[in-house]
Structure formats: C-alpha cells, structure tokens
Structure 1
Amino acid sequence: MPVIAVCSGKGGVGKTTVSANLAAALTAFGETVVVDCDFMLPNLHILLAIENPGLSLFDVLRGDASLKDATYRLRMAVGRTLTTLHVIPSLASLSMLKEFEERRFGEVVEELSETYDYVVLDVSAGLSRLSLVSMGNADRAYVVVNPERSSVNSAKRVVTVARELGVEVGGVILNRYRGERSFAELVSEILDSELAGIIRESRDISRSWDAGVPVISYRPRSAVSRDLVNLAMNVAGQKVNIRPFGRVRYLLGW
C-alpha cells in the first residue's frame, strides 16, 4: 500500500502539522500509520500528546522492540466516525544515529506497507542523508511550502532530488496560506508539480496542538479542517480540484 513521504526544503513550514493531520484524515480511507522520521529533532509525539514514549522507531531499528510494541494508538473522531491513528515516534541520540542502517529502515517501511493501507513518513527538513533515506523508501513524496519565495526555492531542490531517486512527486502542499492567490498560481509552475492541497493559516491549529489532538478532530467543521480533508482525498486518489482563493475568502473562512 502507498508509502507517503511528507517533505520540505526548509524547517518551520509546518510539515509535521501537515503530516499528523493528513494521517489522521486518511484514517477515514483505511488503516493508517504516521512515522516520525525527523531523527534529529523529533516532535510528532509531542504534538500528539504522547508523553515520554518508552519505545520508538530506533528501538525497532536496533532490534530491541517489535513494530507492534513501538506503535501508539490514538482514538479520535474524524467527521462522525471514531477511528484509530497509529503513531510510531522517534527518540534519537547521536549514538543511535551512528547505528542507523539504511537497509533495516527500508525493511521496516516495507513491513509497514504490508500492514497498513497508508504509511505517512514525516521526513526531516532539507536533504540530509537521513532525509534522503526516508524519502527514497516512499512511493510518493509531497512537498510542503509556505507562501514565500525562500520556501519555494528550497522546495524546488527537494522535488528535483525526489525525481532523481525515482520517487513520484504527488504534489505540493501550500501551508499557512492567507489568500496569496497570485503566489499560489505560481507555485505549481515553479515546482513543476500540481497543488495537492492548500492549507490556510488558522489559530485552530495551535489550539488543537495545545489540546494534543489533530485539528480535524479538534474542530472538524472548521475551514482549515476542510482544507486538510481535501488534501487527504487527493492523496487517497479521490480527486479534488484545488483552487487558490483570495484574501476575502480567507478572512471570511470560506
């Protein structure tokens, strides 16, 4: 089943927020697991209120734990349905990183793909060795950008490298959007990839993380939750036409 890599050229664009919410939304379409592949600065477990996880991805990679033991299950409402999001956190140290084996990581991802309908990899920002290993084990890569030139320029290199690795680029996710219509229209052209989703800036995002749940569960009827569901539908193959909207629609929350 599809292994989805959520990537970015630079940090701070909201990639982990997108990864967690995309994975939560995909639970409506099938069994889903999200894996924290940001080995240097892992924080997926923090956003999802998994306090001090005892086991993590590195315990699995070292052979000290099974995937089942390192997987945390979060029950949440997605729309009117109660679903379960599976989460594999990552707790890294320099010693662990020195022991990292690319082959073993690939085996773990393959095992997950045989178990779940959707595997979402929250890839660390940039193009480090570990980022490339994570992205290279995916079937499709989605690149998160903000509506600013530096973000798009760094994302362009990620798109190029993904294709060099033979990974399909599923699309661009424009995050923290405030109605910059003209910029949105340029993004897919600059990155030579279609818009898979536009996720608007919203205070509900930070409020949902304070509550320790994805926003699509915290405020399921909000405009930003609708944006995320549309993204998940595109990732799941249920085509939704993503159209950039202007400042007025953003301010009115349409």
Structure 2
Amino acid sequence: MVAPSGTYDALTFPVALPKSVVMAMLPDWLQNAFLPIPEQVYDSLCLERKTSDGEDTHIIVLQLGYQHGTGVGPSIIHMSFHEAKIDIPYLKHWHRKHIESDAIPFVYKQVIIFSSRLLQISGLVIPGSRSLLGAFGPDQTPSSYGHDPSSMEYNIKDLLEAEFTREDQTQDADSRWPEVKRLIEMPWFGGKTGKAAVEFHFQWDSEDALPVKAYHVETTLTPKFLGIDSEANQSIQVSTTAWRFKAPFSGVEQGADGY
C-alpha cells in the first residue's frame, strides 16, 4: 500500500459508545482485538468509562473533513474531495495477534465516506474498510466557511447531520486537544492493508495550517452511519466538544511488527 499525502481540513471529536455497539461495528476477525483504554485517556478527554447502565464503553473518533490536493504519487494527480471517517482506536493489529502480551494500540478505519466514486471504489480495495459514496453539504465543508466561523454544518445525505457552534477557546478544550491529536496520529490499518500500518504525520506548524479551534457539536449517530443492525440498535445522540484543524500531512507506512 502506498500512503497518501495532502492537506486535511476537518472537524474531529471522540465519543465513548457502549462496547457492545463498537463490537457490532467491527468485523468478526476483530472481535477479540480490544485493548484496555487507559483511565488517563478517558480523563483527558472527559469521557465516561461506563454507560448509565453500567456497561463498559470504548472510544471511537469521528473525522468530518475535506481533503485538499491529496493522493499518492506526483502532486499533479492529487485530488480535492470530501472525506469523512470513523476510527476505532485501541485495537490489536491482526498481524500481531500471535503476541499474547501485545499492548501496542492501533486504529482500525471502520468506514471512509468519499464524495468521489473513484476513491470510493479504490477504498474497497485498499485499505479495504467500509467505503461509501456520499452526497455532502454544504459544498467543500468545512473549508467553505473560512478560517474562524461562528457556526458550521457538515451533512452527508441519509447518513449524518452535524451542527457545530464556536466555543470560547477555554483552558479545558485546550487541555484535551493533545490527547485528541494523539488519537488521530495513531498508526492505523484496514481490512486489506496486510501486515502494514500507516501513520499520518501532520505538519502543525506549516504556514498552510490553521490554528486549532474548539466547537460544540450536536449530531445523531444512526445505525446506518455506524454500519450496525438498525433493528437491534437505536440512534445515539451526541453533544460534545469538537476541534477544527487544517494541516498538511504525509502518510508513513511500515510493517506492524516494527512497533
């Protein structure tokens, strides 16, 4: 697999879901891949370890964005497109399952939704996760809103509607961002990435990067969006802090055994 590079403008936020829901989001071959999430991670993100019913939770991370000049190979063939994804961190890489004491956390790309049919089809091959074609709005969101809007929307027809309103850049939001950043930079794999893992190295200090801003997000995670049975699962209301970032990145690939 050849790792991509480009510039990603995205709204990202972690959510703690019931572990049973996260298990339903995963393929059979990852049902036993869960690693315990350290308590300090939950504390840093201000997320709950248990549901109101006492069930364990597991964290997922949503990234709702727009890619600028992103692709593999020469930059002349790179593309700009909408891309939204769900990451599930703190899983074992399947290639390391023979290591009984393995505690190296990886991210599984559970779904990637593209505005490009070409990319949607290629996503089925590599990385081999759920790959969907979506109708996004507003066009080029969040980039179309400029650098520091007071509010934004990010919608994917029949899948997701999310509203973001600007929060004051409080010390609390600032203190949580480093942990969020660590999650989105964690090495990841998909269903067909083989023995490899990929890290996205963001150039946060680049002149093309934007200062990270905190927002409040209101959205509903439907079974269809999460890729789970709609008869056995209900929609989940989310009201939490999100962060808007824009930064150039480069993908770095190495074998999973190298960690």
TM-score, length-normalised on structure 2? 0.30
Q: Higher relative CO (CA 8 A, sep ≥ 6), structure 1 or 2?
A: 1
Bigger helix fraction: 1
Bigger strand fraction: 2
TM-score, length-normalised on structure 1? 0.30
